[in-house]
């Protein structure tokens, strides 16, 4: 008979791969596999990622638990392997050592609950047995894994299944397709949510239709970025558009979305679309003047490859490439999440296009931090965007195309700004 109720191995994994130590989905997968490899029955796992670094999580097993806390900046993981019964937790140890790439480690094994020191008290558990028999085991373990899009002060978290459907480190960024419970499959670039199956229409309808209904005879559209394909899909709904040129820097984003988000990446084979995998910033440096009715900048946030999409030089080149009556629409960040980028972009557009030629459209995206997001406009020539001139045409289009966000009332109201936003972008 064993002399202890449990066995506890306290592990220090050191000099681990820092990126793995910060990857909540990989750690959850590895911890669950470590338990299963050692023959444990997994009941539940709950894992969280912390800002800016670190993962904590527990795998509850019928034989006790496996727990972890990581410090990616030190390449360090503190792991507890607590087991009872015949399970050999050293198998879990070996698995995790390999998965984490730990170059050094130490482990201390303790016996827990020494039976010599404990007194056994048997009690009647008949009623508990009845209750247990009534409870139906769903026969699967639950997972509690969260993806967090954040800065140092705010975050938006989505619970996802833990399944990683696509995970490629491209030359520009980490491209992932994950599956969230509430919003379906989701494209994440580095640690930022780009789009999800269930709310992508908010963004893609609003980046396209207010501008296109303000330019009824537009023919040529340039999209910079937009690798998921949602913006191109919306633009191509307009039959007056003869040619859409789309320049996306990262071919992996296109591939990931073609495979996993086909309803968003729906129009890549449209003959009116010229899809170029290349650098949009360089493309615009060489673009012929007066070429496009509409330029849409569907980029990600101003870190990594999209940083240049927030520069004065880039928007000066956009201005030149627009026709004399043309519109620029740019992903404009959030006045609540990225106030600095939001304000600076508007100042840039006011400087290049003119003080009264840089309207802002606000709209709602539940999966972006704070939910409040913007598109920022640059108007070249005499075009008004915040008025509806063709109400019945819009109504027919919305009905025919089954749009779910944009309508003629939203068209006007999206340009109405709360006072605090007006104050942020007050003309100097
Ligand atoms: N923080 C998200 C900023 C929006 C980035 N673009 C989304 C791409 C959708 N086509």
**Pocket perturbation via mutation, ligand 1, pick of 203, 296, 334 by most ligand atoms within 8 A of CB:** 203
- The residues that are catalytic are 298
Structure tokens that stand for 372 in this block: 């409040």
Closest CA to 335 of 417, 394, 216: 417
Whether residue 61 is predicted with pLDDT greater than 70 in this model: the reply is: yes
**Pocket perturbation via mutation, ligand 1, pick of 183, 194, 345 by most ligand atoms within 8 A of CB:** 194
Q: Which atom of ligand 1 is nearest to the CA of 226?
A: 10
Q: Which atom of ligand 1 is nearest to the CA of 333?
A: 3
* Three-state helix/strand/coil letters over 329-346: EEECCCCCCCHHHHHHHH
What are the pLDDT digits (tens) for 86-116? 899 999 999 999 999 999 999 999 999 999 9
Can you give the pLDDT at residue 421? 97
Q: Taking the model in full, what pTM does it have?
A: 0.80
Q: Which residue has the tokens 């130490």?
A: 106
Sign of the Cα pseudo-torsion (411, 417, 422, 424, in order): negative
Q: Count of alpha carbons within 13 Å of 298, Cβ hemisphere only?
A: 30
Answer yes or no: is the C-beta of 228 below 6 A from any ligand 1 atom: yes
Beta pairing partners, 372:
364
Beta pairing partners, 55:
49
Asked if 318 contacts 284 with a C-beta cutoff of 8 angstroms, the reply is yes
Q: Which atom of ligand 1 is nearest to the CA of 195?
A: 9
Which pairing describes strands 64-71 and 76-83: parallel, antiparallel, or unpaired?
A: antiparallel
Q: How confident is the model at residue 137 (pLDDT cuts 50, 70, 90)?
A: low
Beta pairing partners, 109:
9
Edge-to-edge strand order for the sheet containing 322-331? 273-277, 243-248, 220-225, 292-298, 322-331, 372-380, 360-364
Give 137 Cα–ligand 1 centroid separation in angstroms.
Answer: 41
Across 15-24, 56-65, 130-139, 306-315, least confident range: 130-139
Closest Cα to atom 7, ligand 1: which residue?
Answer: 194
Sign of the Cα pseudo-torsion (36, 39, 42, 45, in order): negative
Mean per-residue pLDDT for 61-76? Answer: 96
Answer yes or no: is the C-beta of 213 below 6 A from any ligand 1 atom: no
Beta strands in 34-154 (DSSP E): 42-49, 55-61, 64-71, 76-83, 104-114, 142-150
Answer yes or no: is the C-beta of 334 below 6 A from any ligand 1 atom: no
Answer yes or no: is the C-beta of 195 below 6 A from any ligand 1 atom: yes
Give 342 Cα–ligand 1 centroid separation in angstroms.
Answer: 14
Asked if 117 contacts 66 with a C-beta cutoff of 8 angstroms, the reply is no
Give 195 Cα–ligand 1 centroid separation in angstroms.
Answer: 6
Whether residue 378 is predicted with pLDDT greater than 80 in this model: the reply is: yes
Answer yes or no: is the C-beta of 300 below 6 A from any ligand 1 atom: yes
Mean per-residue pLDDT for 55-75? Answer: 96
């Amino acid at each position: 008979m064993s002399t202890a109720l449990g066995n506890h191995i306290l592990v220090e994994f050191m000099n681990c791969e820092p990126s793995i130590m910060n990857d909540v989905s990989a750690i959850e997968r590895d911890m669950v596999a470590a338990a299963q490899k050692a023959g444990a029955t997994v009941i539940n796992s709950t894992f969280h990622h912390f800002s800016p670094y670190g993962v904590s999580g527990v795998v509850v097993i019928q034989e006790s638990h496996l727990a972890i806390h990581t410090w990616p900046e030190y390449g360090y993981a503190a792991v507890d392997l607590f087991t009872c019964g015949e399970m050999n937790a050293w198998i879990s140890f070996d698995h995790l050592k390999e998965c984490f790439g730990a170059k050094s480690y130490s482990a201390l094994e303790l016996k827990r609950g020494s039976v010599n020191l404990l007194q056994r008290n048997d009690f009647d558990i008949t009623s508990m047995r009845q209750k247990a028999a009534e409870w139906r085991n769903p026969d699967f373990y639950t997972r509690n894994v969260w993806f967090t899009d954040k800065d140092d002060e705010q975050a938006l978290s989505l619970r996802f299944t833990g399944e990683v459907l696509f995970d490629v480190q491209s030359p520009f960024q980490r491209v992932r397709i994950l599956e969230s419970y509430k919003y379906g499959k989701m494209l994440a670039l580095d640690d930022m949510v780009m789009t999800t199956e269930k709310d992508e229409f908010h963004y893609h309808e609003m980046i396209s239709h207010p501008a296109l209904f303000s330019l009824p005879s537009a023919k040529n559209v340039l999209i910079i970025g937009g690798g998921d394909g949602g913006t191109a899909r919306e633009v191509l709904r307009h039959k007056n558009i003869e040619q859409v040129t789309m320049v996306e820097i990262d071919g992996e984003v296109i591939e990931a979305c073609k495979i996993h988000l086909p309803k968003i990446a729906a129009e890549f084979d449209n003959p009116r679309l010229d899809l170029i995998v290349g650098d949009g910033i360089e493309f615009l440096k060489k673009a012929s003047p007066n070429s496009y009715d509409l330029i849409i900048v569907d980029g990600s946030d101003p870190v990594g490859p999209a940083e240049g999409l927030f520069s004065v030089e880039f928007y000066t080149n956009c201005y030149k490439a627009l026709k004399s009556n043309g519109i620029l629409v740019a992903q404009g960040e959030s006045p609540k999440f990225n106030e600095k980028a939001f304000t600076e972009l508007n100042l840039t557009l006011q400087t290049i296009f003119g003080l009264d030629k840089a309207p802002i459209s606000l709209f709602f995206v539940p999966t972006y931090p704070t939910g409040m997001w913007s598109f920022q406009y640059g108007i070249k020539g005499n075009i008004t965007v915040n008025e509806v001139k063709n109400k019945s045409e819009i109504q027919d289009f919305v009905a025919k195309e089954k749009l779910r966000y944009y309508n003629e009332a939203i068209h006007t109201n999206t340009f109405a700004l709360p006072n605090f936003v007006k104050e942020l972008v007050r003309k100097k």
